Amino acid sequence: MTKTIGTVGRLEHRKGHDRVIHSMCSLDPSTKLKIVGRDQAHYGKVLRRLVKKLNLESRVELLGELSPVDVEGFLGQLDVFVLASREEGLGLAVLEAMKARVPVVVTDIPAFREIVQDHKTGLIARPQPYSIAWKINFLLRNPLYAANLVSQATEVLEKKFTKAKMLEELINVYESL
């Protein structure tokens, strides 16, 4: 049965799409990767060359930019959401995936550690493709575990990442300046 993993983020080096593409070499051949994101700096060409070099043309699809409504629908089709960023400001795409009730795998960077609690609300991988692939495989092969992560992520979102809570924290930061 085909499983679909996906990611959302601008097509640029810092987003780590290349890491996820490399991880596909260690995943079941029936697994598909879909990448959504705007290609401002023409990094999509680099990613397409990598896909071709790794002979993954039948398994990796770059979809381009989608509207917010279409992104929501896209997330709902995924078995696992992956974001392998090298650096990140907030990680809004991770929050959106969690809101869409999709299990998440992220790389170990400060912005993601604020959102994802390893083995509680998602999985945190080392930046190497084999580590990312291992975490993806784990979730694909353990659907009950993945469902538990989604359930706990939903609870955390409802408590910590509501608009009111985030606004309150932003006001606290400004008041402390």
Q: Tokens standing for 103? A: 């299990």
Q: List the CATH number of the domain containing 135.
A: 3.40.50.2000
SS3 109: coil
Question: Which strands form 104-107's sheet, in the order they lie side by side?
Answer: 60-64, 32-36, 4-8, 80-83, 104-107, 123-125
SS3 131: helix
Q: How far apart are CA 51 and CA 77, in angstroms?
A: 22
Q: How far apart are CA 12 and CA 4, in angstroms?
A: 22
Q: Which residues contact 159 (CB under 8 A, 6 or more apart)?
A: 165
How many domains does the chain fold into? 1
Over pLDDT 90: what percentage of the chain? 82
Q: How far apart are CA 124 and CA 110, in angstroms?
A: 11
Over pLDDT 70: what percentage of the chain? 96
How many residues appear in the chain? Answer: 177
If phi > 0 it is left, if psi is from -120 to 50 it is alpha, else beta; for residue 71 that is: alpha
- Measured CA distances, 75 to 26, 78, 82, 100, 169 (Å): 23, 5, 11, 6, 27
Mean pLDDT for 79-100 is 94
- What residue numbers bound the domain in which 45 lies? 4-176
- State yes or no: pLDDT of 87 exceeds 90: yes
pLDDT digits (tens, 9 = 90+) for 50-84: 999 999 999 999 999 999 899 999 999 999 999 99
Residues pairing with 80 in the sheet: 5
Q: By C-alpha distance, which of 113, 129, 35 is closest to 75?
A: 35
pLDDT of residue 1: 83
Query: What confidence category does residue 177 fall into, taking pLDDT thresholds of 50, 70 and 90?
Result: confident
Task: Look over the chain and give the mean of its residue pLDDT values, rounded to a whole number.
Answer: 93
Contact 104, 128 (CB under 8 A): no
